Amino acid sequence: MKKVLIVGGVAAGASAAARLRRLDEKLEIIMFEKGDYISFANCGLPYYIGDVIEERDSLLVATPKLMKDRFNIDVRVNSEVVKLDTALKKVTVESKEKGIYEEAYDFLVLAPGAKPLVPNIPGIHSEKIYTLRNIRDTDQIKSAAAQAKSAIVIGGGYIGVEMAENLRERNIDVTLVEAAPHILVPFDEDLVVIAEKEMKDKGVKLVLNNGVKAFKETETGIEVELQNNDIYKADLVVSAMGVIPDTSFLHDTGIALGVRGHILVNEKMETNIEGIYAGGDAVEVVDLISGMQRTIPLAGPANKHGRIIADNIGGIQTTYKHTQGTTVIKVFDLTLAATGNNERILVREETPYEAIIIHPNHHASYYPGAKQITLKLIFNKTGKILGAQAVGYEGVEKRIDVIATTIRLGGTVYDLTELELSYAPPFGSAKDPVNFAGYVAENVLTGKSDVVHPRELEKMRENDQVVILDVRTIGEREKGKVEGSVHMNVNELRNNIDKLDKSKEYWIHCAVGQRAYVAERILKQAGFKCKNITGGYKTIQAMGINMQTNQ
């Protein structure tokens, strides 16, 4: 009888175990989990703390009893694998119940996951500083939050933002501190500023571009000193400064690890040592867009890793076809979703790209309740979709899912224009936002439109060869305008075109971009040099760029 040992549960490990049993009734399968629980809903933990999820047991996806009764899997909790001998094919286990012992294997599955990053900051080991990674952490934070009136969250990633929201939902005064200029790294500045405003509007104090220098425990709570020497006080601190792979026990085993300690695997999720597989947050994956090695810790891919590992152990030749990083997050009433690469990644990797921003309604504008989506599409000169991001109150994630599917199937921006998507006034528009994004991108690629990003406005202050042309109505302009811009309503443009100077280049904007495109086409066909400021005044205003507001 072949024996498979699985180190770690949750997504990859538990998925591999269940799939293995479905494939082979004769395998001996033993799962080791150093914590109390083998499979739980990591992504639901903040919402249990915020009382959105009321029942603690609903977080438990699978229990040792279920795995034994349904799958005949020997699950050993509170059992940490501390050593691995690849030559003798055995592991050393430190068990709360059995003490220290060894277990041999024929196949080994490594799914140790990741653990919270704990930087070397003075005072960081205070008992009033919490991290969130498992059920035990959740219980501790929820208990502390029940007594707290104020909290500081360190880190603006997904866990940090979700914790800030859920602590705020408990009527706790919350300050979120982020060392980077903006929260939520998967999103570019032009979209994430909308989420930042939502958090501020809901009462979360944001401190950006300012890291932590030191923590100091006091009799009544804890002080956080920042790099600029500002001091914030609270009853508790939640540290969400990122994670690192929990792979220290693999050092000196011969298993290849990446620079940051992630396990390196091939397309079959097998390590460099035959018979040893790895999946989940502890592995490096290939980025579907760039083809480069990257760490993208997400639950969906982790479950796929487990299934593919089981297939290959079971003799089914299955390969993992890379990760594209499709993700979604709730920020109070807002939804943010993304897939593929963002501008930051593309700039860092020196990848040429184009980007457009549109603001369509999530369903037909004439049907009650229509709400705007801000949708960003990033693509290259061939039409390949490199990434997409969206933010709004309704219909956000389904648009990103459609684009993510198009990317996965090798589609281009031209294919977005051809997609036949479901339509009825309460659900969408005859020209869906996804189609609309494709049309705008197609116009850029075919030379019908030249776009410029609102951030470029700051560079134009001293350039007297560029004129910012506002083609909105006078009423819109009276509520706020770009400093130094000139105005001409798009409906009056043809009759007043002789008032414009052909020696100048015109950067055109309306509210969201549609009327500016009409103006751009009129001017270009009349021999003018012009560009469309993508996203229009809505994006300019959200980013707080070069504005003169009259409200």
Domain map of the chain by residue range?
3-114+245-313, 129-241, 333-445, 451-548
pLDDT tens digit sequence for 428-447 = 999 999 999 999 999 999 99
Question: What pLDDT is recorded for position 59?
Answer: 85
Comparing 40 with 354, which gets the higher pLDDT? 354
Q: How confident is the model at residue 551 (pLDDT cuts 50, 70, 90)?
A: very low
* Mean pLDDT value across residues 469-485: 94
Question: What pLDDT is recorded for position 473?
Answer: 97
Neighbour-count burial of 248, counting CB atoms closer than 10 A to its CB (0-12 exposed, 13-18 middle, 19+ buried): exposed
The region of weakest confidence among 73-82, 417-426, 459-468 is 459-468
Question: What pLDDT is recorded for position 387?
Answer: 98
- Total-model pTM: 0.94
Question: What pLDDT is recorded for position 459?
Answer: 80
Statement: residue 203 has pLDDT above 80? yes
* Mean pLDDT value across residues 13-17: 93
Question: What pLDDT is recorded for position 287?
Answer: 96
* Mean pLDDT value across residues 241-255: 94
CATH no. of 3-114+245-313: 3.50.50.60
* Mean pLDDT value across residues 34-47: 84
Average pLDDT of the chain to the nearest whole number: 94
By the 8 A CB rule, do 386 and 406 touch? no
Q: Round to whole Å and give the CA distance between 476 and 114.
A: 50
Taking the alpha carbons at both ends of the chain, their separation in whole angstroms is 76
CATH code 3.30.70.120 for 129-241: no
Statement: residue 547 has pLDDT above 90? no
User: Nearest 5°: CA angle at 181, between 176 and 184?
Assistant: 65
- Angle, helix 536-543 to helix 189-201, in steps of 10 degrees: 60
By the 8 A CB rule, do 232 and 152 touch? yes
546: Cβ contacts below 8 Å, ≥ 6 apart: 457, 458, 461, 482, 483, 484, 540
The region of weakest confidence among 6-15, 61-70, 82-91 is 61-70
The region of weakest confidence among 20-24, 28-32, 541-545 is 541-545
Pairing verdict, β 205-208 and 173-178? parallel
CATH code 1.10.760.10 for 333-445: no
The residue to which tokens 């990760």 are assigned: 323
Q: Round to whole Å and give the CA distance between 143 and 347.
A: 44
Span 451-548 CATH architecture: 3-Layer(aba) Sandwich (3.40)
Q: Round to whole Å and give the CA distance between 402 and 236.
A: 41
Q: How confident is the model at residue 548 (pLDDT cuts 50, 70, 90)?
A: low
Instruction: Pick the closest to residue 132 from 147, 117, 120 (CA basis).
Output: 117
According to the 3-state scheme, what is the secondary structure of 390-414? EEECCCHHHHHHHHHHHHHCCCEHH
Q: Which of 43, 214, 244, 547 is catalytic?
A: 43
pLDDT tens digit sequence for 337-355 = 999 999 999 999 999 999 9
Statement: residue 121 has pLDDT above 60? yes
Tell me whether domains 3-114+245-313 and 129-241 share a fold: yes
Residue 544 tokens, joined: 């707080």
530 noted as active-site residue: no
Distances (CA, A) of 454 to 130, 534, 536: 40, 7, 8
Question: What pLDDT is recorded for position 384?
Answer: 98
Question: What pLDDT is recorded for position 170?
Answer: 95
Q: Round to whole Å and give the CA distance between 542 and 189.
A: 10
pLDDT tens digit sequence for 256-290 = 999 999 999 999 999 999 999 999 999 999 999 99
